[in-house]
A and B are shown apart, each in its own frame.
Chain A
Amino acid sequence: MILQILVSGLTSGAIYALIALGFVLIYKSTEIVNFAQGELVMIGAYFALLYASFHMPYYFIFLFAAISAFIVGILINNLVCRPLIKAQHLSVVIATFALSFLIRSLIRLIWGSQYYSFASPFAEKTYKFGDLVISPQNFWITVISLIIMLIFYLFFKFTKTGKSMFATAQNQEAASLMGISISKVFMLIWGISSGLAAISGILLSPISAISPYMGIIAIKAFAAAVLGGFNSLPGAVIGGFLLGIIENISAIYISSAYKDILAFLVLIVVLVFKPAGILGTETIRRA
């Protein structure tokens, strides 16, 4: 039983982790909280829908949708964030909030408010391992998410671009003194963050209906990021999986109706008792 809970929790947890990673990546590097992250998830799903209508094989849909979202992320950085670098921090936060409305209404204008479904590329049947029931859907979602996170990790740890991005996230001033182009890094960060969000959207499409309101899942990812520590990348991953598992546990032992509110509760509890989350650090004010 416990094992089943863990396993199902892993699937939603993986999705939350991906979205949370995107959040934290942007926040850590630019101190911007991206209110539009959920809409980027939604864009991923709609891009998938779009490319699916061209009857491409799944892996192409996946790739193209992720790349399209990557480009959207770069556009957001260049057209909205860059001009606002010198402005009050307040302005940027409002801007991402406005973007979330803008993107959502744009999608509604193009596709309407109805729900779309996305044919799953995976077989419908489930496999049993002793007491454990696993569907290929959930399995692949979890595995693909983990692979993406691994790629992400390797990229940041071992490639030159990745390392300079990581350095920028740690300490902007030092990074620019070392000759790293901060503006290129920001561009990439938004692109990658959007890509991550989009991938979660694509992975979500077979199991959840595609609608302009999909973005609401970002609130859960936000809770996951806060849980893990909002300025910690590994924290985002841990927070994501933890939230997924906690949600599942409460769904079975408490009530499935309240499953969605759980994320809010977690958020409030963490903020009240340990705002830094599991792995986060308190920022120290320096005069």
Chain B
Amino acid sequence: MKNLSKILLLAFFLALLILPPFLDAYVVYLLNIICISILVSTGLNLVTGYAGQINLGQSGFVAIGAYATTILMTRLGIWFWGALPLGAVIAALAGFGIAVPSLRLRGVYLALVTFGFAAIVEMILVHWVSLTRGPDGLAVPSPQLGSITLNSDLKMFYLNFSITVLMVYIAQNIIHSRVGRAFVSIRDSELAAQAVGIDLTAYKIIAFVLSAFYGGLAGGLYAALVMFISPDAFSVLESVIYITMIVVGGMGSILGAIIGGATVSLLPELLRGLKEVQEFMFGAILVISLIFLPNGLVGLFARFRKAPKIGE
């Protein structure tokens, strides 16, 4: 069974590498969106799924990554390949800034603070016109790789795909190390975690910073993909969508973040149109998933295999 799934996985990867030039342009665009969403949800999963710290502000980190990357390129003339990681680092710093004061407090306040953070970022994007050009938005220059300009969805796909695969691999490594176990132990029993020597605050901050970094990285890639960013792509609703991704996919599971990211990111595309309908749908899907799919889609599949699912 294990060999079969390895072969399938390999085949799947090969398909993703070979097929895109032959696929419809819109499908290629969607594949890009899926990669970027998986990046966001994987990061969010680390802090909320594994470490159990609710982060309702992921949209803020994505926004910071997108705008920081863009502004570093346009205002400071920094090369994309420098601006992208820098944008992610700036987002990570914001994550650190939020986490340090609020993680001493009860989890409840963290939820409020992260939500407030997302709302404040949205407000800043709109009002700090001298930096962000407010609602007018910013045009994003395309990354240059030697003589190649990554100005098409197809070219961006290969970039997004490689980065996503790399970052998921890294997340997997973290999860399977003592750091990942520490995250889970914080979620399962803060008392016992302390008794085995885990500094709760330090690890919560690490989880938060990681989540922010992943979000910021995704934001930068998103900016380069769509070539134009404006505040309405980074509203608090996006935070709801990201939470929905990990809930629907399965919190505390790498595969869950992937499945959730892939499926849920397609919904706004399918539901083009009224923002109210989107909001309602996401609210409803989220609530329904929480009640009926407590372990997400991953949990659903696990019920069909006999083996008990071990904390991945």
Contacts and interface: CB of A to CB of B under 8 A. Distances in A.
Contact of B294 (A87, A99, A272): A87
A103 B291 CA distance: 17
Interface in A31-52: 33, 35
A264 interface: yes
B111 A93 contact: yes
B289 to A, nearest CB: 9
Given A83-B291, A87-B294, A285-B191, A271 B105 contact: yes
Contacts of B280: 101-102, 105-106, 109
Interface stretch (B4-12, B48-56, B124-132, B219-227): B48-56
B290 A98 contact: yes
Nearest to A104: B279
A273 to B, nearest CB: 12
Interface in B221-259: 237, 240, 243-244, 247, 251
Given A109-B277, A271-B109, A90 B54 contact: yes
A219 B48 CA distance: 23
Interface in A230-284: 264, 271-272, 275
Contacts of B148: none
A287 interface: yes
Contacts of A219: 116
A143 B308 CA distance: 60
Interface residues of A, number: 34
A84 interface: yes
B290 A101 contact: no
A90 B48 contact: yes
Given A90-B54, A105-B276, A98 B286 contact: yes
Contact of A98 (B54, B240, B278): B240
Contacts of B284: 98, 102
A148 interface: no
Contacts of A226: 109
B170 interface: no
Interface in A73-127: 80, 83-84, 87-91, 93-95, 97-106, 108-109
Contacts of B108: 33, 93
B21 interface: no
A190 interface: no
B54 A93 contact: yes
A84 B283 contact: no
B12 to A, nearest CB: 31
Interface in B268-291: 274, 276-280, 282-284, 286-287, 290-291
A94 B247 contact: yes
Contact of A222 (B112, B191, B274, B283): B112
Contacts of B82: none
B111 A80 contact: no
A235 to B, nearest CB: 16
Contacts of A272: 101
Given A101-B237, A271-B105, A94 B276 contact: no
Contact of B286 (A95, A105, A222, A285): A95
Contact of B111 (A91, A97, A106): A97
A189 to B, nearest CB: 17
Interface of A: 33, 35, 80, 83-84, 87-91, 93-95, 97-106, 108-109, 219, 222, 226, 264, 271-272, 275, 285, 287
Interface of B: 48, 52, 54, 56, 101-102, 105-109, 111-112, 115-116, 187, 191, 237, 240, 243-244, 247, 251, 274, 276-280, 282-284, 286-287, 290-291, 294
- Top-3 shortest CB links A-B: A102-B283, A105-B279, A98-B286
6 contacts: A83-B291, A94-B290, A98-B240, A103-B283, A105-B278, A271-B102
